[in-house]
Structure 1
Amino acid sequence: MVFYEEQSGKSHTLDFSSFPAPLAMQRWMAVLLAAQCGARGGSKRLATAKKYHWVLRRFTVVLSDAGRVPSTPGELAPEHFQILRDRYEDHPTSLRLYLQALRRLMRKRDDLTEEALHDLLRTRLPAAAEATQVMAYSDHEWQQIMTAVRRDVRISRDRIRVGVRLLARFRDGELIAGSREEALGRMLEEYATTGDLPRNESGVLRDEVSRLGGAMAISGMLSLTRDESTAFALLLSALTAENFGTVKTWPALHTRPDGRVSAQAVALVEETKPRRGPDREYMVVALEDLPASLRELAESEDTEPRLFLSPLRVYQLLLELTQTARRLSGATRAFVS
């Protein structure tokens, strides 16, 4: 069976033929996984599909070691689940994981006997291991984090805008021929056009690339680094109270219902939350600008840091700084580095 992860598009083959079980049981377990991880199932991540596949395989291995593998789903009995409990009674964490997964996969199956299903669902799960206490960030720590994130965003903004202006001056013929600026402008033109830098016939970057700062420095004049992209996601997550994992998948395409003319600017961005289930996973988040009174304050030269208090402005800045990388890659997402 081939599983396709919804958000990333990654595919992975889940092989049931190696399970130590009859063909009918192998096929049935493939059906179980397809129901849980398919288009209308609640599990959309590749890691989750792999976990279910692993649990099903362990279940058949345990039954095989005991010499009690059923031939069909209808032959599954309470004693089969008891074999699993006995096998992992000294490993409560593993047993809890296996029983929880089997319950999710089998609880709605009408091809199991009532006795087997009742035994699986009534079994009291082993106590979970004592959770590690998680301490919330203090106000001072949170302020330090936000200060560092805004600093990364500000540095990337200033650097890329300098690169964009230099490239524009090169294209307009304003740079002195033979100067370092002109050579750097030519490099930026190469990168903006092809997504690469000059190379020798062997494929190695030319020496002039190193003399002008290296590939990472030159490409960084027109695109974000991965860490800077993460900083944008963290900042937007903090400003909107959306999960980091949701924010990082936002698209660049959005709607401006205000028509860019109203006093209260807003952008509507589609997002997905697969864990909400197939009927409720698609949502729309509204990225608003600051109120008019604060917007006037934020636009003053002395209060530049306040520009990073507006979710809409941070999102617009992200789109501005990633437009070259998005054009070169053909990506439609907001976060691209």
Structure 2
Amino acid sequence: MGAGRFQRGGLAGAVGGGLVSEQTLRAERGRAAAVPDSFYEPPPAVEFPEGGGAPVVRFTGEDGRECVFRFEELPLPGLHRDFAHALGVRIGPGGGRRTQRAASSQWQTVKRFLLLLDQLAEPPRRVEELRVRHLERYLVARRQTCEEKSARRNLQDLLRIVRVLPGQERLEGAVADYAGQPGHGVDAQQVGRPGYSDREFQVVMAAARSDVAAIRDRIMAGERLLGRFLDNDASLSMAEREQGARLAAMAATGRVQVDYRGLAVGEYPAACYAQARQLFVTDPDLAPLLIYAAGLSGRNPETLKELPAEHRVLEGRAVALTLTKRRRGKSNARTSVHWSVDTERELRTMGGFYLLLHRLMARSRAFSGTGSVWSIWAGNGRGRVLHAATGGHIGPFDAELARKLKLGAWAGRHGLVGDDGKPLEMLVTRIKKTVEVRTAKQVGGHLPSVRLTNTADTSFTHYLRADPFVAEWAADVLTEAITDAEENARAVVVRLGGEPAAAVPERVREQAAAGALDTLASACTDIEHAPGGGRCGQSFLACFGCPNALVLERHLPALLALAEALREDLQRRDVAQWAARYGATWQILTRDILPRFSPAQRAAAQQRQPRLMLDLLEGPIQWS
């Protein structure tokens, strides 16, 4: 609902007749929201001056951020009214672009398109003169300054604006068809940059952590000196007392107090800046603080930039606060989180780090009046003029989220280098993706467990699927799984006669694996000591019930050949006679031995099985 003023009577009636101020009235459980007495119409998003001037589009986002787009700076005035209306639809209360950054992007699309049309020899003067070639020309122009998928996304934005131009019947049929057809940029997905490798992430976090610790120690040192001055510490030197007095004035008024004696005029800004850093967070501090917050929390940069100052500490073990994530849509734009707190190591957990941020920027926040946890002193340069009433203190992301943090310069100061040997490209979005990837690895790729700030589908589609480090890790995991499976399969060891295979000495097992102890279709672990005593003189059939017999994978071809020979013999012999002679051997072979091996192992052994004669299993024939 746009800005409006309710009448006092309407407010009182909405709460049962009580006199309640406009500032304190709010909808609660069991209580209806206040509504005006008469018809309410929000102010229009598009303003058309009565004198016939260029239209103005005003935007107020759901987060309270505002901006104004003036068509007077654009050419082709005959198109202004229609495109202003379309822009108002796209960024208005019912449109799909409800943040300041998104609205500005839509404005840039309109601006670029009209400037491009103005460069043509015969530009269109009205929307009726728009042609498909004009839209295609826009795509070609965007390709000259950005990559293909970015250019197609720009075309996507333009087509969405064209589809809401007023009076669609005035458009040429081919233009309307082109704007509605898929494949011209609509639903074009842009593949983002991958996350950082483990080494890159570690060096980034180490650099950010060192800066965060330095910021903390710097401000705490200023606070200690201020405290000693206010306590009239007799041990303070004259210089410390003068500095303490300046800090006390800064703490009381928010305005930086500097001793300019002995300084050249050109040195004044640096001295003012150095003095402010004793008690306040400043603009260059935002880069390491935001990077470290992203590495700890795994949250998107826009969510971190809107961290609220309001929170609850739960038994000193966790901090609870409400986060904003607008990509989830209007109904799910806010979510409550609970971050653990480590009181001894505040840089270890996100809860402890959040409380540190809250403490470091508390003084500045008292002067800036922001509801965000982020508040800095920006008194030098432009901020000194624009924010004179607050002493230069501002919520850096209150006016817009797209504040320049100079992340590249920060990475350059620390000499951060990528795995390719080039200067590391520093993006907070890549840190978010890296945390998502590392979480996926830690839980073995189980997507429901990976889900931290997104659904499992979103995590896979936008963070994991195209990431090269995930692909490499998954390939390693798959290779290890296959190797383990093969090793486990080859580790099949069957000790016959009911004895455990683990009791076989390792030295004997190695000899069996090498074939030094082979009999006809198994290995004998102790031929000199048969179960009946002395050296074994039994037939090979007796091996299948002997505790000295050991079966390994190398025996599988012979075992399969034995099974085949027994089947063939059954076709030639009486069943009762065959069962009396080979029944026990068949049972052990088919139920206790062969099922231990995988189908793949049996299939491979089938290709190289020898031809066995059952006479060999009976032992030597005694001729008389």
Q: Given the alignment of the two structures, is residue 26 of structure 1 paired with residue 80 of structure 2, yes or no? A: yes
Aligned partner of 2:339 in structure 1 is 288
Aligned partner of 1:102 in structure 2 is 158
Q: How far has the Cα of 1:143 moved from its partner?
A: 0.8
| SS of equivalent residue, structure 1 residue 207 | coil
1:288 touches 1:310 (CA, 8 Å); kept in 2? yes
1:289 touches 1:311 (CA, 8 Å); kept in 2? yes
Q: Indicate how the Cα distance of structure 1 residues 92 and 270 shifts in structure 2: closer, same or farther if over 3 A, else same.
A: closer
Q: How far has the Cα of 1:112 moved from its partner?
A: 0.9
Q: Indicate how the Cα distance of structure 1 residues 14 and 97 shifts in structure 2: closer, same or farther if over 3 A, else same.
A: farther
Q: How far has the Cα of 1:59 moved from its partner?
A: 6.7
CA–CA distance in structure 2, aligned partners of residues 4 and 133 of structure 1: 29
Q: Indicate how the Cα distance of structure 1 residues 49 and 100 shifts in structure 2: closer, same or farther if over 3 A, else same.
A: closer
CA–CA distance in structure 2, aligned partners of residues 217 and 103 of structure 1: 50
Q: Which has the higher contact order (CA 8 A, sep 6+)?
A: 1
Q: Give the counterpart of 2:69 among 9, 13, 25.
A: 13
Q: Given the alignment of the two structures, is residue 330 of structure 1 paired with residue 369 of structure 2, yes or no? A: yes
Alignment of 1:225-240 (within 5 A): 225-240=282-297
Q: Given the alignment of the two structures, is residue 112 of structure 1 paired with residue 158 of structure 2, yes or no? A: no
CA–CA distance in structure 1, aligned partners of residues 262 and 357 of structure 2: 30
Where structure 2 has 5 or more consecutive residues not aligned to the other structure, the ranges are 1-55, 145-150, 377-624
Aligned partner of 2:224 in structure 1 is 165
Q: How far has the Cα of 1:88 moved from its partner?
A: 5.3
CA–CA distance in structure 2, aligned partners of residues 190 and 246 of structure 1: 34
Q: Indicate how the Cα distance of structure 1 residues 86 and 100 shifts in structure 2: closer, same or farther if over 3 A, else same.
A: closer
Q: CA RMSD of the aligned region, Å?
A: 3.6
The C-alpha deviation readout for 1:265-294, integer Å capped at 9, x for no partner, is 231233242x444444x212414115xxxx
1:160 touches 1:220 (CA, 8 Å); kept in 2? yes
CA–CA distance in structure 2, aligned partners of residues 316 and 208 of structure 1: 39
Aligned partner of 1:188 in structure 2 is 247
Q: Give the counterpart of 1:224 among 263, 267, 281.
A: 281
Q: Given the alignment of the two structures, is residue 50 of structure 1 paired with residue 107 of structure 2, yes or no? A: yes
The percentage of aligned residue pairs carrying the same residue is: 23
Aligned partner of 1:249 in structure 2 is 306
Aligned partner of 2:93 in structure 1 is 39
Alignment of 1:61-210 (within 5 A): 61=118, 65-66=121-122, 68-70=124-126, 75=128, 80-85=130-135, 87=137, 91=141, 93=143, 96=152, 99-107=155-163, 111-113=167-169, 115=173, 116-122=175-181, 124-125=183-184, 134=193, 136-176=195-235, 179-198=238-257, 206-207=260-261
Q: Indicate how the Cα distance of structure 1 residues 237 and 231 shifts in structure 2: closer, same or farther if over 3 A, else same.
A: same
Q: Give the counterpart of 1:270 among 323, 332, 338.
A: 323
Q: Which runs of 4+ in 1 moved over 6 A?
A: 208-211
> Aligned partner of 2:91: which letter?
C
Q: How far has the Cα of 1:111 moved from its partner?
A: 2.8
1:175 touches 1:181 (CA, 8 Å); kept in 2? no
The C-alpha deviation readout for 1:205-229, integer Å capped at 9, x for no partner, is 6328989x93223221211232323
Q: How many residues align?
A: 303
Q: Given the alignment of the two structures, is residue 311 of structure 1 paired with residue 350 of structure 2, yes or no? A: yes
Q: How far has the Cα of 1:86 moved from its partner?
A: 6.1
Q: How far has the Cα of 1:120 moved from its partner?
A: 2.1
| SS of equivalent residue, structure 2 residue 168 | coil
Q: Indicate how the Cα distance of structure 1 residues 152 and 198 shifts in structure 2: closer, same or farther if over 3 A, else same.
A: closer
Q: How far has the Cα of 1:319 moved from its partner?
A: 0.5
2:57 touches 2:84 (CA, 8 Å); kept in 1? no
The C-alpha deviation readout for 1:79-117, integer Å capped at 9, x for no partner, is x33231564585462674663222211335673139342
Q: Give the counterpart of 1:321 among 360, 363, 370.
A: 360
Where structure 1 has 5 or more consecutive residues not aligned to the other structure, the ranges are 200-204
The C-alpha deviation readout for 1:4-47, integer Å capped at 9, x for no partner, is 4635835333215854253xx43221110011112332222253
CA–CA distance in structure 2, aligned partners of residues 247 and 111 of structure 1: 42
1:272 touches 1:283 (CA, 8 Å); kept in 2? yes
CA–CA distance in structure 2, aligned partners of residues 98 and 247 of structure 1: 27
Taking structure 2 as the reference length, the TM-score comes to 0.43
Q: Indicate how the Cα distance of structure 1 residues 269 and 185 shifts in structure 2: closer, same or farther if over 3 A, else same.
A: same
Aligned partner of 1:202 in structure 2 is none
> Aligned partner of 1:93: which letter?
R
